[in-house]
């Protein structure tokens, strides 16, 4: 099994690690010793998400060919995370507008397809924002002006909104879904954008 860090193959003794989870933990420790933070992990070309990391923690090592990591300083990763989240929010907003248009015009199939894409993108968006907030709370990321992590994040409001949206989907109430997307999801997404821009303090520029 090869391990690459920022494109360069490294030779680390991981022989004592009995599982993929143990190897990842040891890799994170070794990267941390260099003063850098792991920003992205790929296993055999597939990105490792937080959920997948838990699922793959006990995966057999025999099937793993290469683990590739991208690292950076705390400032670099914060800036990259903010840029990614803000760009994704912009794209989601456009797709939501299209989905609303489809539902309101009676094109339920088209609306559902766009809605599914929006939900998938929003999952990535909230994974990014969650990572940013966790990084700030843990002290890895320092935001300008001493902004308090989570002080203005509309997290609980977002969860309640998504529950109502899911309920409308289950009832196949396309008008209610269009209303929820336009009058709840879109304003909520804008609140997240304002929050992230405030956190950036110039980091995302």
The structural domains of the chain, with segments of one domain joined by +, span 2-72, 75-200
Expressed in angstroms, the distance from the first to the final Cα of the chain is 38
pLDDT of residue 59: 59
What is the rounded average pLDDT for all residues in the chain? 83
Asked whether residue 130 carries a pLDDT value surpassing 70, the answer given is: yes
Q: In what order do the strands lie in the sheet with 46-47?
A: 8-10, 2-5, 66-72, 37-43, 46-47
Q: What is the mean pLDDT of residues 112-140?
A: 86
Q: Please, what CATH class does the domain formed by 2-72 belong to?
A: alpha beta
Q: What is the mean pLDDT of residues 157-173?
A: 86
CB 189 within 8 A of CB 85: no
Asked whether residue 34 carries a pLDDT value surpassing 50, the answer given is: yes
Q: What is the mean pLDDT of residues 96-101?
A: 96
Lowest mean pLDDT among 46-60, 75-89, 188-202: 46-60
Q: What is the mean pLDDT of residues 113-138?
A: 86
Asked whether residue 74 carries a pLDDT value surpassing 90, the answer given is: no
Q: Decide which of 96 and 35 is more confident.
A: 96
Q: What is the mean pLDDT of residues 103-118?
A: 94
Nearest one of 126, 113, 119 to 49, comparing CA atoms: 126
pTM over 0.85: no
Cα angle: 80, vertex 85, 91; to 5 degrees:
130
pLDDT range class, residue 3, cuts 50, 70, 90: very high
Lowest mean pLDDT among 8-12, 33-37, 81-85, 189-193: 33-37
Q: What are the φ and ψ backbone dihedral angles of 16, each rounded to 5 degrees?
A: -80, -10
pLDDT of residue 67: 92
Q: Decide which of 135 and 148 is more confident.
A: 135
Find which of 77-81, 133-137, 153-157 is predicted with most confidence, using mean pLDDT.
77-81
In this structure, the chain runs to a length of 205
CB 20 within 8 A of CB 1: no
């Amino acid at each position: 099994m090869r391990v690459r860090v920022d494109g360069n193959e490294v030779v680390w003794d991981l022989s004592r690690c009995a599982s993929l989870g143990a190897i990842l933990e040891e890799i994170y420790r070794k990267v941390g010793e260099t003063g850098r933070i792991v920003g992205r992990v790929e296993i055999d070309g597939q990105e490792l998400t937080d959920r997948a990391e838990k699922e793959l923690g006990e995966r057999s090592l025999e099937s793993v060919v290469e683990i590739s990591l991208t690292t950076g300083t705390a400032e670099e990763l914060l800036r990259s995370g903010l840029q990614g989240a803000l760009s994704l929010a912009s794209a989601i907003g456009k797709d939501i507008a299209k989905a609303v248009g489809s539902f309101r015009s009676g094109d339920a199939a088209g609306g559902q397809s766009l809605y599914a894409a929006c939900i998938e993108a929003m999952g990535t968006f909230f994974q990014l924002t969650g990572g940013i907030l966790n990084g700030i709370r843990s002290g890895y990321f320092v935001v300008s002006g001493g902004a308090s992590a989570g002080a203005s994040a509309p997290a609980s409001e977002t969860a309640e909104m998504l529950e109502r949206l899911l309920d409308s989907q289950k009832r196949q109430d396309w008008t209610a879904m269009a209303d929820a997307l336009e009058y709840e999801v879109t304003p909520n997404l804008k609140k997240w954008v304002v929050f992230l821009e405030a956190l950036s303090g110039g980091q995302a520029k």
